[in-house]
């Protein structure tokens, strides 16, 4: 008898994704689309359900469970969500509503924790004893996987590395604090810093972009083309990330860090200064030479991780 597959749903501030995932981590069907920010709570839910049903039809496999990764904060494990990047949902009972609409037992957790679990079991984190999975995208977030299991913390919110303060008096984060990693490196923080610099008279090709065109992706492209402001912003983002990682390394003693998310597509423009700053900051014997890797599961990472949340018994951890 063919083992039941799992329906995974990944809900982020930029995109929605869904897919059917086999017990060995293979993605049998997959779809993604932009997050409809103009939608109200019910319209946003309907968009998620429609995307999930589409992938379900395409796979035609029996489904045993549903896993959902969503931006936080969340109330864990009951699955009420209040995502910072999705103001339509506040204390929204997402787990219960999706379980009802899709007719499947459901598990919901933070989307970056789901990413970390997927990479730990099927991607660049396989074989790690203590893994920090980190996404640098619309926001900066993290998930901690120890011996193949997610570490949740007291309220299910462990891993919020994006709100570690990297510099006193730095740029203001959307959480209200100053100097958070989010303020330096996220898809919201980078454009905000670019606009501030342009407002102070900085010379850059970014100034010629149309309204709404100043995005993190545009900054990465400009840096790759040699734009000095864009390059400086990416280097500062990398150094902030390294300062956060150095502190996490001292606290958690991870043997691997896996980085994913759209901004990591900058490649060496981000990873080279990040590694250089990490060597300067992580000076304890057990934090030196931290194994830092790009994510391996690509655009499907969130969906695979969400599926791993739902049926851990069917998602075996690779042997070390």
Q: Residue 40 in contact with residue 50, Cβ under 8 Å? A: no
Q: Residue 219 in contact with residue 191, Cβ under 8 Å? A: yes
pLDDT exceeds cutoff 50 at 306:
yes
Question: What string of DSSP letters covers 123-177?
Answer: STTTT-SEEEEEEESSSEEEEEEETTEE---SSS-TT-GGGSB-STT-PBPTTS-
φ/ψ of 118, rounded to 5, equals: -60, -45
In this prediction, residues 108-112 reach a mean pLDDT of: 94
- Say how many C-beta atoms besides its own lie within 10 A of residue 14's C-beta: 18
Q: What is the mean pLDDT of the chain?
A: 91
Return the structure tokens found at 148. 């193949």
Please give the Cα distance from 308 to 73 (Å, whole number): 20
Q: Cis omega (within 30 of 0) on the bond before 73?
A: yes
For the question of whether the overall pTM of this predicted structure is more than 0.85, the answer is yes
Tens digit of each residue's pLDDT (9 = 90 or more) over 204-254:
999 999 978 999 999 999 999 999 999 999 999 999 999 999 999 999 999
Beta pairing class for 15-21 and 27-34:
antiparallel
Tens digit of each residue's pLDDT (9 = 90 or more) over 2-12:
468 999 999 98
Please give the Cα distance from 51 to 37 (Å, whole number): 16
Please give the Cα distance from 269 to 93 (Å, whole number): 40
- Say how many C-beta atoms besides its own lie within 10 A of residue 240's C-beta: 27
Please give the Cα distance from 47 to 56 (Å, whole number): 14
pLDDT exceeds cutoff 50 at 320:
no
First to last CA, the chain: 29
More confidently predicted of 303 and 311: 303
Q: Residue 194 in contact with residue 233, Cβ under 8 Å? A: yes
Of 128, 127, 131, give the one whose Cα is nearest residue 143.
Answer: 131
Tens digit of each residue's pLDDT (9 = 90 or more) over 247-302:
999 999 999 999 999 899 999 999 999 999 999 998 888 888 889 999 999 889 99
- Say how many C-beta atoms besides its own lie within 10 A of residue 275's C-beta: 14
Question: pLDDT above 90 covers what percent of the chain?
Answer: 76
Please give the Cα distance from 313 to 295 (Å, whole number): 23
- Say how many C-beta atoms besides its own lie within 10 A of residue 213's C-beta: 11
Please give the Cα distance from 185 to 236 (Å, whole number): 8
Q: How many CA atoms lie within 13 A of 198 on its CB side?
A: 16
Question: What string of DSSP letters covers 235-282?
Answer: HHHHHHHHHHHHHHHHHH--SEEEEESGGGGGTHHHHHHHHHHHHHH-
pLDDT of the residue at 312: 57
Give the chain's domains with CATH numbers: 5-118+299-314 (3.30.420.40), 128-295 (3.30.420.40)
DSSP label of 314: G
């Amino acid at each position: 008898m063919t083992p039941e597959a799992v329906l995974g749903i990944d809900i982020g501030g930029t995109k929605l994704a869904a897919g059917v995932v086999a017990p060995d981590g293979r993605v049998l069907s997959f779809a993604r689309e932009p997050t409809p920010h103009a939608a109200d709570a019910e319209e946003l839910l309907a968009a998620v359900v429609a995307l999930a049903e589409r992938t379900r039809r395409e796979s035609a496999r029996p489904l045993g469970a549903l896993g959902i990764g969503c931006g936080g904060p969340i109330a864990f494990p009951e699955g009420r969500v209040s995502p910072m990047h999705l103001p339509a949902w506040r204390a929204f009972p997402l787990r219960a509503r999706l379980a009802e609409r899709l007719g499947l037992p459901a598990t919901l957790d933070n989307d970056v924790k789901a990413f970390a679990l997927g990479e730990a079991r099927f991607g660049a984190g396989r074989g790690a004893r203590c893994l920090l999975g980190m996404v640098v995208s619309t926001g900066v977030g993290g998930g901690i996987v120890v011996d193949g299991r997610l570490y949740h913390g007291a309220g299910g919110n462990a891993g919020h590395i994006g709100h570690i303060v990297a510099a006193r008096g730095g740029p203001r984060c959307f959480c209200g604090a100053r100097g958070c990693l989010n303020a330096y490196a996220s898809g919201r923080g980078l454009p905000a810093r670019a606009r501030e610099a342009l407002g102070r008279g900085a010379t850059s090709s970014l100034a010629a972009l149309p309204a709404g065109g100043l995005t993190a992706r545009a900054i990465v492209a400009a840096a790759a083309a040699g734009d000095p402001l864009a390059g400086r912003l990416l280097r500062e983002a990398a150094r902030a990330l390294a300062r956060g990682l150095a502190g996490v390394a001292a606290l958690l003693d991870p043997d691997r860090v896996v980085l994913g998310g759209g901004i990591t597509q900058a490649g060496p423009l981000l990873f080279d200064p990040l590694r250089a700053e990490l060597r300067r900051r992580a000076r304890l014997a057990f934090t030196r030479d931290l194994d830092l890797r790009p994510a391996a599961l690509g655009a499907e990472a969130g969906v695979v991780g969400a599926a791993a949340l739902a049926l851990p018994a069917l998602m075996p951890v690779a042997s070390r």
